[in-house]
Structure 1
């Protein structure tokens, strides 16, 4: 019997691409998508006629709990790393499954959780040698400080997948800076890099926070979609390898890293080469100035978030193959320029 999938965020960037990736390989599976807006639900339905639209939002606890209880696999991407109520609803819903029919939870985290050291020290734009590791250093990732960004929701997922590991098989898929055009039915734009390119075009100079030496990992959204697919397939095959779920189910999803100063310079160079700005100039900003430009998105350009993705490669054979961030930046700048011309 084909597995049933309940997905949140199908109209968003990550969820839209995850739905595309999984559905493309498994159109015969049963799908239900939580959608807040009826018109957007119709867009999802137009592209995927066999997807059942569940109208509701993340605050609809009982609705989410019910859908999670009925699904074999939950792919949670809609504000997943920050909405604690929705996570608790999924945990309760999946908790009604049985040992004979466990529920599988593919939860979207975010490596913003690794920026807590910079936030604590009020340190922006400086290099940090600390690099996390989701294989040998997995316990460290599941024991981060409670005040770290996203940590409150991480704890809900980890508790469900650890305390009730025979019934709930959970994994936190934790992407860093995501880039590339999404393939979802509604939203195809990410945040950090597009906003950097947008502000470069508006200011006619690329913004650099502090010294520009802070480093983040990155991943193409198509490679991230492939990872969701591999995990969904593991769930459908009832692959209960302890290295994939529960206490060890914390997976970094990266394929390289960049210094934010270098990314800003690349955006300025691409914009100048295309004739969108006069010259490939940059401008250094303080934390306060960056906040005025693009609030937390801009602050993230000054913080470090570094980790190595070994787990999915070793146990699922995940092999990122999409274009690199440096190959993508010129096209990204072009898309942002075209969007600005339409406004």
Structure 2
């Protein structure tokens, strides 16, 4: 029997692309998606007529628990790294609705904002940090980060579910960094960090740089991220229970390179100036407080370090990112953001 898949965030950027990637490879699988309003439900159904709509929000514990208990695979992307209630509902549903003979597979979306705690603790923005994590030799460090780190509260729920109920719940935290590229989902196709930086560049006529602009963050194209979700879904469907993939060791970084935020800002300004959208390729340095006024946490992230090496998925699942680099994507992104601003 074809696997059943429950998706949260199908109308969002990550979830929409993950649904596209997995369903494109496996059109015979059964898909259900949590959607909170009728208008978005219609958009999802228009693209996926055989998909079952589950009306509800992330606060609907009973709804989510029931769907998680029934599904063979749960792909959780909707505010996944921060909404404790939804994570608890999935954990409880998977543990109660599955058995050792029929385990449930939980593909949970984390975020490498969790790696920024050192900068936050030190109130340090725009400075370079040489610390680089990795998800193979340094995997234990990733699953035992400080409790006050961003997203850590939800990470612990997922890790506990995959450890305490290891025979029944096969969990993995897929942890993407800065995501870029146009999504292929039915509703939301835009990422956040770089598009917001580009948008502010166009509005201010100068690209914002936090502090010295030396902070470094990993990046990944959303299509490559979709491929990684598909590889994990394939592992679930074939009952690949390699202990290196799930549970206590199921923490996977999803990066394909890194960038200094100051360099991204300069590239955005150069592309905007070349296209004639701003007078000159200029930048402007901002303090933490000034950045917050521009774009709250999105802007603060441009001043933080989040660095890691994605080894596990490449070694164990053969993940091979192949989409255009962030540098190749910036001119097209600048054009899209300019066109979007003209429509407002």
| Same fold by TM-score greater than 0.5 | yes
2-side partners of 1:176 and 1:81: how far apart? 12
Once the two structures are superposed, what CA deviation does each residue of 1:303-325 show, in whole Å capped at 9, x if it has no partner? Answer: 00000000000000000000000
Distance across 2 between alignment mates of 1:275 and 1:46: 38
Q: C-alpha displacement at 1:122, in angstroms?
A: 0.1
Instruction: Please list the CA deviations of residues 257-293 of structure 1 after superposition, one character each: whole Å capped at 9, or x if unmatched.
Output: 0000000000000000000000000000000000000
Superposed CA offset, 1:167-200 (max 9, x none): 0000000000000000000000000000000000
Partner of 1:61: 61
Show the counterpart of 1:95.
95
Aligned-residue offset at 1:38: 1.1
Aligned to 1:325: 326
Whole-Å Cα distance in 1 between the matches of residues 34 and 57 of structure 2? 7
Structure 1 CA distance for aligned equivalents of residues 334 and 289 of structure 2: 25
TM-score in terms of structure 2 length: 1.00
1:101-151 Cα deviation digits (max 9, x unpaired): 000000000000000000000000000000000000000000000000000
In structure 2, C-alpha distance between the alignment counterparts of 1:61 and 1:95, rounded to whole Å: 14
Aligned to 2:278: 277
Return the offset for 1:204. 0.2
Report matched runs for 1:140-151 at 5 Å: 140-151=141-152
**CA–CA distance in structure 2, aligned partners of residues 24 and 73 of structure 1:** 16
Unmatched 5+ residue regions in structure 2?
none
- Are 1:339 and 2:337 an aligned pair? no
1:1-343 aligned within 5 A: 1-96=1-96, 97-343=98-344
Give the secondary-structure state (helix, strand or coil) at the position aligned to 2:81. coil
Cα distance in 2, alignment partners of residues 128 and 221 from structure 1: 26
Q: Tell me the TM-score normalised to structure 1 length.
A: 1.00
In structure 2, distance between residues paired with 1:285 and 1:330:
24
Q: Tell me by how many angstroms 1:239 deviates.
A: 0.3
Task: Please give the per-residue CA displacement for 1:46-104, whole angstroms capped at 9, x wherever unaligned.
Answer: 10011000000000000000000000000000000000000000000000210000000
Task: Give the 3-state SS of the residue equivalent to 1:78 in structure 2.
Answer: coil
Deviation at 1:37, TM superposition (A): 1.1
Shift of 1:240: 0.2
Distance 1:165 1:159 in 2: 9
C-alpha distance in structure 2 between counterparts of 1:249 and 1:41, whole Å? 32
* Residue-by-residue CA offset, 1:190-243 (whole Å, 9 max, x unaligned): 000000000000000000000000000000000000000000000000000001
Instruction: Give the secondary structure class of the aligned counterpart of 1:242.
Output: coil
For this pair of structures, how many residues does the alignment match? 343
